[in-house]
A and B are shown apart, each in its own frame.
Chain A
């Protein structure tokens, strides 16, 4: 009798503690949203919050022990177990978790950092957030880096009184701007624009050796019949001559950026992959994902490096959590297995 009373009391405490911890996490999440991602990351990894996470995990475990209902309802059990496993994975992959593992197991794993690799070169150094550089046990070679753009891009024309026109940046495209302003026609599109002078004439041509310099050749026809040629450069948006009453910009949206890399271990290429946004390379306990690139000359790539420690555990937790919620709220009603009625 006494032990049943004690158990009931403990259950009540656990329920109230659970509700309070949930309410606290709602408040912390809203606070975190207001202070920005970087500050929120520091806040949720702080020592007081570490205590909170541990307390939440302990409470979830005790809930499974205290409430028979959680064992009777498969879905509810999976939901709570899933949450415990997600917390465990999160703790293992957190900054504090890494520090503890390094101390306990004398390891020196890189948690997160970035690599800057020039085309054709091999790199092992990973720059950590605080300026420290650590070496990987293998190397990454950047074979090729490519940027793909949506075609055909866009030519934007802005008049002095703020009017704007947008034209597909394709040779042959014509657009009438009005009686006063005349019309524009896109004559040529360049990827590696270069200009040379022959006698008195300026001649534009493609020169791949000079590096990328995307540009458009635009023919302006005024209403009085006069014609002038303008060159519009992607890298100098809004550039205009002092006597121009029109301002031009040439924009192309990046469709994809790809780093063709090889993993080199002991002078042997062990794997090769095109790293793209959403398609990271997974090798040697690390994930290498496309973080940035050299926007001027496209000659180097910036790869984000993160350890995969705890990741599998988090994803296992996700599977259990999803299986639990769908079973408990949807499927058990469909398949008629109502376990114990609510």
Chain B
């Protein structure tokens, strides 16, 4: 299957700093790819480059086309939601639905209304009268109604309470995810999306630090809580990171057989957040 997005050696400089310094990865069909990195890692710059919103060096291929040259065509099949509300605040929800139907060739008014009927959003409300959680629901309903193939989410749940965050992802699972659509999502609330991900890209200072399918991530990395007496033997197996714990330390290993590690302590699967801290060398 051809990937829905191919990012090849993408570079972007702001003044003296490289916001993106040779970023490459692919988004396969059906993937839910988590783009995880600290503040200032280049996540938003990368997503903007993918959307054709800024100039860059290197190649990006979205659904077989360049986002810079074919931005308008691509916007029919690519959706984008960011934490910055960009819906026109002065419109009513039903006006916004009718407007979208008029300007967007693939838009289905029915789908938008059906999705919103399952929420507490009234279509007669003004956008500006909605809570942030409701605005996100409206935005998601609009994107779903466009039948997009690739959905790009930049911190979509920032500022939403836990109930709305949970509903947001339920809606994505219910309405969006199919075998031929892909999702790229950048977020700080990694734990909440970990079980949704099929692929993980860790990015720091404009560089990709890890790019793997989740199955491989779990195969490669093992976390072991090691007792004080075993610290030396743990260190001899060249761990990625070592973090002091109450008794002994927690080690993360990359590509070391679990049979070799079992003597050190209990082996477990590291969470994405734990892995992130470990690889970024801040553990």
- Do the two chains belong together in a single complex? no
Chain B interfacial positions (CB closer than 8 Å to A):
none
Chain A interfacial positions (CB closer than 8 Å to B):
none
